[in-house]
Structure 1
């Protein structure tokens, strides 16, 4: 009986690890898509993007920040405006 319980716990633990891995990969993919979209919007709008700016966007590891940049990219009048800290509120 103990062996069966151990096998079941191992099975559940392995599936939870796999699920976490898949969720992590999905989150990483979403962030990559968002960062690419921010760059594409800025390029279409004619913003000159230095390698440093591209690197900043592509390596951003915070989804909330990428969401903010994505929301601002279509209307920002400067890169300073795009990257400004969120308004307290």
Structure 2
């Protein structure tokens, strides 16, 4: 456990506080990874000259699921239309 100057050091309160801090950092990292993957999907499509309608662009940018974004990255290299990224999804 890292050393802190938290009042009540070594108590359950400090442990809870530090766990919350770590959780916040992890959530921030996940959000950052999702943003990067979404931008990569759009970049691949753009570099391939595939137009992306605003509603599809918004859907990609709004997605926070890293697995889904990873699948879309893979598909972005092969699809002929942006809409096909979402084929088979509800």
TM-score when scaled to structure 1? 0.82
Partner of 1:16: 19
Structure 1: segments with no counterpart, 5+ residues: none
- Answering whether residue 42 of structure 2 is matched by residue 30 of structure 1, we say no
In the alignment of these two chains, the number of paired residues is 82
CA distance in 2, matches of 1:35, 1:23: 18
Any unmatched runs of 5+ in structure 2? 1-7
Q: Deviations for 1:1-56, whole angstroms, at most 9, x for unmatched residues?
A: xxx69x61011000000000000000000000000000000000011112111101
Of the candidates 74, 82, 85, which is equivalent to residue 82 of structure 1?
Answer: 85
Matches within 5 A, 1:63-82: 63-82=66-85
SS in 1 for 2:11: helix
- Tell me, yes or no, if the aligned pair for 2:35 and 2:61 is still in contact at 8 Å: yes
Alignment RMSD (CA, Å): 1.8
CA distance in 1, matches of 2:54, 2:18: 40
Residues in 1 aligned to 2:50 and 2:80: alpha-carbon distance in whole angstroms: 9
Q: Which residue of 2 aligns with 1:50?
A: 53
Structure 1 segments (4+ residues) deviating >3 Å: none
